[in-house]
Amino acid sequence: MADQYLQGKVAWVTGSSRGIGRVVASHLAGLGADVVVHGTSPTSTRAFAEADSLQAVADAISAEHGGNVLAVHGDLTDPATVDRLTEQARTRFGRIDILVNNAGGDIGAQGVLGEGGGKPIHNDAIEISVEDIHTVINRNLMTCILVCRAVAPEMIERKAGRIVNIGSIAGLAGRTNGAIYAAAKAAVHTYSRCLADQLRPHNVTVNVVAPGGIVTPRFLATRPVDQSKIQEDGTLVRYGWPEEIAASVAFLASDGGSYISGQVLRVDGGMQLWPS
Measured between alpha carbons, how far is 93 from 78 in angstroms, rounded to an integer?
A: 23
Kindly name the residue from 181, 191, 239, 259 that is annotated as catalytic: 181
One-letter amino acid of 186: A
**Among residues 9, 32, 44, 85, the one that binds ligand NDP under rule CB under 6 A:** 44
DSSP letter, residue 46: G
- How near is the Cβ of 174 to ligand NDP at its closest, in Å? 16
The DSSP H or E segment spanning 237 is: none
Measured between alpha carbons, how far is 185 from 78 in angstroms, rounded to an integer?
A: 19
Parallel, antiparallel, or unpaired: how do β-strands 98-101 and 161-166 relate? parallel
Residues found in the chain:
276
Nearer to ligand NDP, 83 or 202 (CB): 83
37 touches ligand NDP by CB under 6 A:
no
Nearer to ligand NDP, 93 or 219 (CB): 219
143 touches ligand NDP by CB under 6 A:
yes
**Under a CB-based contact definition with an 8 Å cutoff, are residues 109 and 131 in contact?**
yes
216 touches ligand NDP by CB under 6 A:
yes
246 touches ligand NDP by CB under 6 A:
no
166 touches ligand NDP by CB under 6 A:
yes
Nearer to ligand NDP, 120 or 211 (CB): 211
Which residues 70-109 are close enough to bind ligand NDP by CB under 6 A?
A: 75-77, 102-105
**Among residues 53, 86, 168, 207, the one that binds ligand NDP under rule CB under 6 A:** 168
Q: Hey, which residues does 30 pair with through a beta bridge? A: none
The DSSP H or E segment spanning 206 is: strand 204-211
Q: Phi-psi category of 212—alpha, beta or left, where left has phi over 0 and alpha has psi -120 to 50?
A: beta
Q: How far is CA 269 from CA 240, 247, 258, 266, in A?
A: 7, 14, 24, 8
Other C-beta atoms closer than 10 Å to the C-beta of 2 total: 11
Nearer to ligand NDP, 161 or 211 (CB): 211
DSSP letter, residue 240: B
Nearer to ligand NDP, 36 or 112 (CB): 112
26 touches ligand NDP by CB under 6 A:
no
- How near is the Cβ of 132 to ligand NDP at its closest, in Å? 13
Nearest CA to 37 out of 113, 88, 109 is that of: 88
**Under a CB-based contact definition with an 8 Å cutoff, are residues 20 and 8 in contact?**
no
- Which stretch, 25-33, 58-66, 69-77, 154-162, contacts ligand NDP (CB under 6 A)? 69-77
Looking at beta carbons, which residue is closest to ligand NDP? 19
**Among residues 6, 11, 13, 20, the one that binds ligand NDP under rule CB under 6 A:** 20
- How near is the Cβ of 192 to ligand NDP at its closest, in Å? 13
Q: Does residue 181 have an active-site annotation? A: yes
Interface with ligand NDP (CB under 6 A):
14-15, 17-21, 39-41, 44, 75-77, 102-105, 112, 139, 143, 166, 168, 211, 213-214, 216, 218-219
Question: What residues act catalytically?
Answer: 181
